[in-house]
A and B are shown apart, each in its own frame.
Chain A
Amino acid sequence: MKLLRHTALLLWKDVRLEMRRRESLLTMFFFGTLLLFVFHFSFDLAPDRMVETTPALLWLAFLFTGTLGLAQLFEAERGNHCLDALLLSPMDRGALFLAKTGFNVVLMTLVEIVVIPLFWILFNLRSWDLIPLLFLIVFLGTVGFCVLGTILSAVTLKARARELLLPLVLFPLMIPVILATIRLMENVLRFGVIGDAAPWLRLLIGFDVIFITVGVLIFDRVIDV
């Protein structure tokens, strides 16, 4: 109960700070949109190749956009040694992990709400009825990305070239999430259902659950590194 109360308090603080600064969300939104236009003008995809290419392009846009968000994740805590102020408090450090993960999920979801329909329009995809299912898959992938990203963002917090280091460490570890999301989206676009890609869905859910649990348990050590 205390963990959830502290998580809500920290999450609300981050949302309030973002509403005032509008740094992360605007940057992520413009970058995500920009990437879509770059993809749109760079690839002249034949309709039969659309299904196998578009999920990877879309997820690539989310990966890069999400990395921008992760780079800013502890920015408020870096100023005035506010991280020390949080670590001094009686808060369970798992709450900090959950709040930061939750905050990044909120940011990425807001960006995705705009980017996915825009992607549909730019690439002339007609199956609008599939969007809710694709949103669910993207959301699960986003949670996986944010969970692992928050852990690694905390690990690299005191590193000198953290903006460079973070994607180098994060992307290889994200391969299961990327593969699962792309395979699932491909299946949904091709057949309209998850169908025989269900094992990828289980992998994605398993990844999310395992890393959320691991994050809560180890974050007190991770944040001290």
Chain B
Amino acid sequence: MLGPNGAGKTTLLKLLAGLLYPTQGEILFDGVPLTRTATELRAAIGFLAPSDHLYEDLTVAENLDFFTALYGKSPPKAAIHHALQSVGLERWSNEYISALSSGMKCRLSIAKWQLLEPSLMLLDEPYGVLDGSGVDLLEGFLKAQAQKGHIIVIASHHISRVLQLCSRALILHQGKLFFDEPRQQPWESFYRAFGEFMPHNES
């Protein structure tokens, strides 16, 4: 999902996550409307906001314990350790979140969603805080999720990165959807639309 600043990408992600509710129309997930009372449905939706959604005064392991319990999952210690190991944070499991850098928080968020396994994963500008190995790790996680048949929606300005991953592109402009097509080779229509709505961005 692409678009200039203020296009409505984050708003749309929040609507899809159930953090906002539409004033008109409805959002259906597998045919079920996403309403305030659809608590079970929310278990299937993940939202990765880099360096957010973690309690500063809980440790890395306690955050994972807390959020997995909130989702009704209680993975064994070994699973938590494995998830932390996979994102390179196993040595930090007893550190408070306030001691972590933004990139490490993002890695922890990846570990959290690895454990929760949502069937719809929403990501809001995930590349900004990650270093090279962090980006590889994120993309490895996304590819693994996609292989399981899970849906992934990424809002990003890193066009070259997301174009390598995506199977479909959407371009938003001023709150409206201007482009929505599955990936093609070559993809002339995308580059035309992209040049029209985001002329100053990388292409």
Contact = CB atoms under 8 A, between A and B. Distances in A.
Interface stretch (A15-23, A25-33, A115-123): A15-23
Nearest to B39: A90
A16 B49 contact: no
Interface string B28-63: 000000001101111101110101111111100010
A84 B57 CA distance: 17
Interface stretch (B15-23, B128-136, B166-174): B15-23
B71 interface: yes
A224 B46 CA distance: 19
Contact of B55 (A80, A91, A92, A224): A80
Contacts of B21: 224
Contact of A82 (B19, B45, B54, B69): B54
A84 B97 CA distance: 17
A216 B66 CA distance: 22
A79 to B, nearest CB: 6
Contacts of A92: 39
B54 A85 contact: yes
Given A89-B42, A91-B39, A220-B37, A84 B55 contact: no
A15 to B, nearest CB: 12
Describe B's contact surface by its main secondary structure.
loop
A173 interface: no
A76 interface: yes
Interface in A57-99: 76, 79-82, 84-93
Nearest to B37: A220
A13 interface: yes
B70 A82 contact: no
A22 B106 CA distance: 28
B57 A88 contact: no
Given A84-B47, A88-B19, A90-B70, 20 more contacts: A6-B70, A9-B66, A13-B55, A13-B58, A13-B66, A17-B55, A17-B57, A76-B55, A80-B53, A80-B54, A80-B56, A81-B52, A82-B53, A88-B42, A89-B70, A90-B42, A90-B43, A90-B71, A220-B37, A221-B36
Interface of B: 17-19, 21, 36-37, 39-43, 45-47, 49, 51-58, 62, 66-67, 69-72, 97
14 contacts: A9-B69, A21-B57, A80-B53, A81-B53, A84-B19, A84-B49, A88-B42, A88-B47, A89-B42, A89-B43, A90-B40, A92-B39, A220-B36, A224-B36
Interface of A: 2, 6, 9, 13, 16-17, 20-21, 76, 79-82, 84-93, 220-221, 224
